Structure 1
Amino acid sequence: MTASNPSRDESRLVTLDGRRRPGPPALVLVGHGSRDPRALETVRALMERVRELRPGLSVRLGHIELNEPLLTDTLAALGDAPAVLVPLLLSRGYHVKRDIPEMAAAATARTRLAAPLGPHPLLAQTLYDRLVEAGWPTDSDEATRRTSGVVLAAAGSRDPDSAADTRRTARLLADRLGVPVVPAYASAATPTVETAVRALAARGRHRVALASCFTAPGRFATQCAEAAPWIASAPLGAHEAMAHLVLHRYTEALETSVTTAA
């Protein structure tokens, strides 16, 4: 691999008549917001990883609620500049379908809305890695796998599309692990973690781990982890695969022709 030439890279940003070319649209990470200070720290760490992967790309942060900067303030600071909003959410639901588009529509920035981070194989890879970090064995024999299972703990939503996305993520993780993965929810949907654990036990799966399908630490993630009968993985956090997934959603959105505000 050859090292990049800074002067050559700079020349690409200048037109033949000496004017500077416009840079790519800003990438705005859209977090939900949390009263848990660890959530903001985690999202900022993820933002830094994204910046490391794409030097020169303007990467910003905005929250739907609870934390500053709020998305409305981040969009206001952009003025009428173009931006791609990448929700740090793991399925479709009210925030993706209503809250974020409404905030974008009220702004002067020209925005595109990317898909949520899940479902996607990079999300499943992060879930797998977090389970291994928590103690999930990578060399289990067939007898052990026959008695093992995983509960995929997510926030929950009344939107059926959200449940469908979480089930898809569970299938991707199950394919990676070779054991059943049952979705469970902290609120607004069923089953609960406890109910999912009992369902797996009824199938002879008594060695049950919990995979934390949360972007960052918070009340729901803590609540679900406390109900785990065995190991519980950490939230997704600033895993490198999550940073790659953010950039994938950004690029994907740029390849579409739909803007949410003009």
Structure 2
Amino acid sequence: MNEISAQLSGRLGLGRPGLVQLGGRRRPEPPALVVVAHGSRDPRALATVRTLLDRVRALRPGLPVHLGHIELNAPLLTDTLADLDARGTTDAVLVPLLLARGYHVRRDIPEMAAAARVRTRVATPLGPHPLLVETLHTRLVEAGWRTDLTEAERRRSAVVLAAAGSRDPDSAVDTRRTARLLAQRLGVLVVPAYASTAAPAVPEALRTLAARGRDRVAVASCFTAPGRFATECADAAPWIASAPLGTHPAMADLLLHRYDQAREADGRSNAA
């Protein structure tokens, strides 16, 4: 009986809050939100992303939320978009679960979207943004970072912001901006460093800080989920290393914020 009721509610639009107006007229469905993750061979990454999407659904009931990967995991973004088309969905906003601009945001995702029959627009990546910094701060505190440092302790302390790295110079620009925002929040020096491709590497940044007398250095993991890069950077930490950003509530808020921004920008361009 419950299953039949659910099916009937779905057909009538009663199970999708906000789709039925007074007088029985239906409002158009909002564009689907497609969260675009990179993909990872580490099974913890996929589990983390799925839990994060459940948080997003809980925050915005009635919003169709889907997952697509650039590589390594199913469903691939191309398959997600093809499935949306088969279901009759005509409109989607793609939000990269990425923390800075780079090749994936500039090329891979737009090219996959262009091949789809569904109308799409690609939102801004998650960083830099204060909600991202809020998550980084929380993870550091969870790892043991004290928020009541004396002035002398601040001069000895620092944080290495460990990010994936990219050959795209815009990626480094975004990571440096995130580092500055985190430094303002913590009141200590924050140095961006990278797991691959870009310089400085995390161990190099740690050695440089140690040579400058910074003997209380934490590694802030600027990765969305557990994986090889996050593990390698944490292993290099001389003191504490924070956990990946994961399913922090601010991450779900940030995904919806980027979705809303993309919709508003699209509305302005259509009105122009």
Between Structure 1 and Structure 2, how many residues are aligned? 253
Are 2:201 and 1:195 equivalent residues in the alignment?
Answer: no
Match of 1:111 in 2: 120
What's the CA shift for 1:21? 2.2
Match of 1:53 in 2: 59
Any idea what SS the aligned residue of 2:242 has?
Answer: coil
Contact kept, 8 Å, 2:226 with 2:244, in 1: the verdict is yes
Q: Which residue identity lines up with residue 257 of structure 1 in the other structure?
A: D
Greater helix percent: which structure? Answer: 2
Q: Any unmatched runs of 5+ in structure 2?
A: 1-12
Q: Which residue identity lines up with residue 209 of structure 1 in the other structure?
A: A
Query: Bigger CA drift: 231-240 or 79-88?
Result: 79-88
Specify which structure has the bigger relative contact order, considering alpha-carbon pairs within 8 angstroms and separated by 6 or more residues: 1
Match of 1:67 in 2: 73
Match of 1:3 in 2: none
Any idea what SS the aligned residue of 1:30 has?
Answer: strand
- TM-score between both structures, scaled by the size of structure 2: 0.89
What's the CA shift for 1:50? 0.6
Are 2:40 and 1:34 equivalent residues in the alignment?
Answer: yes
Aligned runs of 1:163-182 on 2, under 5 Å?
A: 163-182=172-191
In structure 1, distance between residues paired with 2:83 and 2:16: 25
Are 2:261 and 1:252 equivalent residues in the alignment?
Answer: yes
Match of 1:98 in 2: 107
In structure 1, distance between residues paired with 2:209 and 2:155: 11
In structure 2, distance between residues paired with 1:12 and 1:230: 49
Q: For 1:134-188, what per-residue CA distance to the aligned partner results, in whole angstroms no more than 9, with x for missing partners?
A: 0001211111111000000000000000000000000000000000000010111
Any idea what SS the aligned residue of 1:210 has?
Answer: strand
Q: Which residue identity lines up with residue 84 of structure 2 in the other structure?
A: L
Are 2:239 and 1:239 equivalent residues in the alignment?
Answer: no
Q: Which residue identity lines up with residue 111 of structure 2 in the other structure?
A: E
Give the one of 141, 145, 149 matched to 1:132: 141
Contact kept, 8 Å, 2:17 with 2:61, in 1: the verdict is no
What's the CA shift for 1:10? 7.4
Any idea what SS the aligned residue of 2:265 has?
Answer: coil
1:16–1:128 distance in 2 versus 1, CA, 3 Å: closer
Match of 2:29 in 1: 23
What's the CA shift for 1:8? 11
In structure 2, distance between residues paired with 1:231 and 1:10: 45
In structure 2, distance between residues paired with 1:198 and 1:100: 36
Match of 2:6 in 1: none
Any idea what SS the aligned residue of 2:47 has?
Answer: helix
- TM-score between both structures, scaled by the size of structure 1: 0.92
Q: For 1:42-87, what per-residue CA distance to the aligned partner results, in whole angstroms no more than 9, with x for missing partners?
A: 0001101111111111111000011111111110111152111000
